[in-house]
Amino acid sequence: MMDFSIYGDDSNALIRFDPRTKLFIFLACGVTSLYTYSGLYILLFAGAVCAVLALNGKPITALKAFLIFAVAMYIKETVDHAGSSSSVVVLIVSVLTTLVLYSLPTILSILLIVQTTRISQFLSALTAMHLPVRAVIPVAMLFRFIPTVQDEWNGIRKAMAFRGISLSFGSVLRHPGKTIEYVLVPLLFSTIGVMEELAAAALARGMDVDVKRSAYEQVRLSGADYIVMLLFAALSAAIVIMVTAKGAEGF
């Protein structure tokens, strides 16, 4: 049921951006999402993220995301300009549209990193950024292990079906404690087993925090990378400056 595809595939990409550029975009999105900015800027910023996503080989995802932006913008504007209404509904609608408008760029930037970057590329980028091996290993392991957990989870759900253990809403409500136990116990036992074998294998192949690692995947910042980074830096700066200036006027 759960399938978060995290194997990066950039085979359809027009431009393959450096993982560091993607990280920069991620950071820019994280910062700008703290500010309430409006209209044109949202479309510009979201458009830029979608464009990068499209260039990196996911045009359909990008198009869908942009349409969601546009519709959310449209709803927000009309609701803002519409007259009176009951406060609760307005609050709920505006909370929802705000969430979409300000957090979708970040979600897209995560998609950009996860779906278009292979883990080895990502690790190479982290290594190129001189991050210590200590920091790199858990991140790498996180990505490596997610498919394993999914796999185990799917297996356990099947095993539950044979044992007459249901995960339907009703039965979870009736026996919450039991359900949690029946989910956690096999999941943890089997994943811990895999985890230990994996650690043994990695160590036997010479992975060691005290030894400097090198990276096979080549990461290099190209002209396109610099342009995109510059663009995002400029956009975020513009948003931040604009909002703070407005704030000074008494928003």
Q: Which of residues 188-227 bind other proteins (CB under 8 A)?
A: 188-195, 197-218
* Stretch of 12-20, 47-55, 162-170, 229-237 lying at the interface with other proteins (CB under 8 A): 162-170
CA distances from 238 to 39, 99, 147, 232 (A): 13, 21, 40, 10
Do the Cβ atoms of 153 and 2 come closer than 8 Å? yes
Interacting residues with other proteins between 32 and 61 (CB under 8 A) = 33-36
What's the CA gap between 118 and 218, in Å, rounded? 12
Would you state the structure tokens that stand for residue 82, as one six-digit string? 């519409």
Q: Number of residues interacting with other proteins: please give it, by CB under 8 A.
A: 108
Shortest separation between residue 246's beta carbon and other proteins, angstroms: 11
What's the CA gap between 8 and 130, in Å, rounded? 23
Compute φ and ψ for 210, nearest 5 degrees.
-90, 0
Q: Smallest Cα–Cα separation from 217: which of 6, 12, 16?
A: 16
Quick one: 156 or 228, whose CB is closer to other proteins?
156
Q: Where are the alpha helices (DSSP H) in the chain?
A: 19-32, 39-55, 59-81, 87-116, 119-128, 133-162, 169-174, 176-204, 223-249
Figure out which of the listed residues 44, 51, 128, 187 binds other proteins, where binding follows CB under 8 A. 187
Shortest separation between residue 140's beta carbon and other proteins, angstroms: 7
Q: Is 174 near other proteins (CB under 8 A)?
A: no
Figure out which of the listed residues 15, 148, 224, 231 binds other proteins, where binding follows CB under 8 A. 148
Quick one: 89 or 234, whose CB is closer to other proteins?
89
Shortest separation between residue 51's beta carbon and other proteins, angstroms: 19
Cα of 181 vs its chain's centroid, Å: 30
Quick one: 130 or 158, whose CB is closer to other proteins?
158
* Residue 127 burial (CB count, 10 A): 18
Shortest separation between residue 1's beta carbon and other proteins, angstroms: 8
Shortest separation between residue 233's beta carbon and other proteins, angstroms: 15
Quick one: 176 or 227, whose CB is closer to other proteins?
176
Interacting residues with other proteins between 227 and 246 (CB under 8 A) = none
What's the CA gap between 6 and 147, in Å, rounded? 8
Please write down the HEC assignment for all residues of 93-111: HHHHHHHHHHHHHHHHHHH
Q: Is 177 near other proteins (CB under 8 A)?
A: yes
Shortest separation between residue 227's beta carbon and other proteins, angstroms: 24
Binding mask 70-109 for other proteins (x = CB under 8 A): -x--xx--xxx-xxxx-x-xxx-xxx--xx--xx--xx--
Would you state the structure tokens that stand for residue 167, as one six-digit string? 């995960």
